[in-house]
A and B are shown apart, each in its own frame.
Chain A
């Protein structure tokens, strides 16, 4: 039996062929190394992210998350739900909390769930993979398993919004969370603690609908990492990763800059530091190659 076992909510963008499939692949490698078993919630649905609000009002949106929790409670009883996507985690956790606080809504949601022959008990903790790493495994244990320290790699920890607010990681501040820096240090890398844009918004879903406004913010996020001497940015959030990585060509054209800043997931750092090859660490999924990681991975 694995040391740790969770009910896993991968989310739409982590599916094969989706924009953060590299997150899922590297999470799988990471979990193998850490002896973590992820049991996918059967037939999970989209959480509707935060952008779904325009058409989906409160009750439909909360029902979507409630369905996932109900499915998890049915298939993986007693297991904490773990999400790797910031939006999935936030939507699910928020729904769970609201349903705890609002009895009327809890009743309504169960009425809706009954249409799908489901029932929600709502007694399942909803957690982010970062919480598993920090709370269940710990930085010391993480450091112990490092086979190839990320020596000399300067990494800016970009926490972003929804992994950080409104819930965040216990014990961290909203304005200056430090767990990514601690993680990088545990893996033998050089954390850039002075990175001032670590909780700056990348625009989220508005990167699609308001590209100019969003890219102005993304520009700042990359520029700050660059000015701090970063070799790459690490993030826990799929949308942060995508927004900050994939528009760099457009941003360079818009701002006459020459950024080529790799943006990777924490799971990729861990996979490489634990000795996995580039493919296992999903480094082939980078639009901007993380060369220093590839060198270490070999």
Chain B
């Protein structure tokens, strides 16, 4: 923590209409008198070169080290007002004040009051924050660990190595190549996308083996992972029993997928005939055929008719089936149908599809090529494959609305991809609970082997989103996982084809490189990219309650042997959920703490009850709700001048003490705005918003103790697009207060 004399400088911009709408000299007085800013200046174009130079000069002269900008929103002119050597706060006089208020005499007084409060708040925030600096705990380690030697892992390794980083590539099997090495051909990735193509996997394997930056460990698994980005210690276990340890800066998990077991769809009778095969089994038949015709396994007869059944056990609610669709099976079957057109002469080749998925220009061209080669595409749902000498497929043609039975020498089942993930650390949270809230274990739950064996407080592997696929931010940050510095790539993340998985691998490699470089400098990963602050912890106040270690959405915090939290700062995303959780308020950041927000709340001028000027505290997530309110201002949407808005890193960082203090000091209402939570979450910190909603569920007790109405506190999920709605929620609160009356807690 920095230890220095804080010299506050308040710089007020009178441009963009601020000078016309507000009494700027009064704002300056407020900053001096209430905000205790020794250095106060007004400029009519603060973001101009001259304005910025004026501030910079004061910093350079040692006059100022805490800068308070009174002007536009903290989301505007970010570059102009970036002073890395100073602590910077912003008073949002433009988007958050003049633009959301009507420009008339009647509104002038309350608008000015709003602006004065914004100046007071920014000064108070500045006073209680410190200039963040890295902890000095950092290490730069330019080696990546890649887990999985299939096409995803190999591509990640090659991309990273090409970028100049070292790679430790770990593969469980005795050879590199994964599923792709078993394919006869691949779907085309080159114009004109008309025919199956050689996989080229041998060249990729050779490139991996030959690259000086890549070390390959075959027959090897990860038996233990500890540490944090920049300083992971990974124990590798070889099948033979020997073990070694490697130090790496970041990790990419490319553990791939397994094939869905067709035994789960008994009507397909996969086990009743050797001539009913899965799409992966067909690859082996095609490989065995060499350049000759494909023969059926039962008697070696050349296949003269083949039926592909798509979506076996996929996109189905039935028990044992996959609730999702792998999305690539139709392309695979078109490719395999072409094997027959190329190798088996005049072979009747039918694909029974449901919803044919051939995405992209390449997919469409390949589909057309299949049609052109006289592959028969029928929209049909197969109900049964009858085993016997000649196979029979019973299906309903969905176009002709008619049941058919067609015979075939060979039937190919398109079974889907199942992610090869480790056990979900939060699986128990998703299980049904008994009366006492304890999870009810599923009777036939499959125990899954761990892949990373993380030595983390919150479990051994990457958290799942659903259906066993690893959780990444499903809208904004596709390669991220909920374990900083560890990325998932390829079909363990979602079903994908070769082309997609290679793109995914390159993306994950770049993210992993970024993570280890950031870790080396002590900087946060997204969404607070570059933030040097990290959780500070006053150990003597800690009660070892473990709420921070349990609630951290990223599993960043371990516990030492006495149960005190160990923060592992480079695993931390700086959301502040731990700070919001801490009942004794011992967790803080240099630039964000219980005080930086608490003092803003306290420094708002609360008029007495009979002024009929209520005060509404709005705590708005900086990622979605706050931008939405800014955009409301840009669009000239008005909201109540009684609102005092404070951006928070995440609603999860909101400590209930803020609410208690606000209610005690006479605020009439509180509105909390976070991102949407739950399965379709948009929370940038995954679980922060959910945590906040859970905590606010208990605020009713506090209100009751104070004999206040429950309606005075409202929690909402607000999206960045809620430009009309967010202001309305504030106005709704103003209306509520008008109905239930002012708070009796004014002094």
Direct contact of A and B (CB under 8 A): no
Listed in ascending order, the chain B residues whose CB lies under 8 Å from chain A are none
Listed in ascending order, the chain A residues whose CB lies under 8 Å from chain B are none
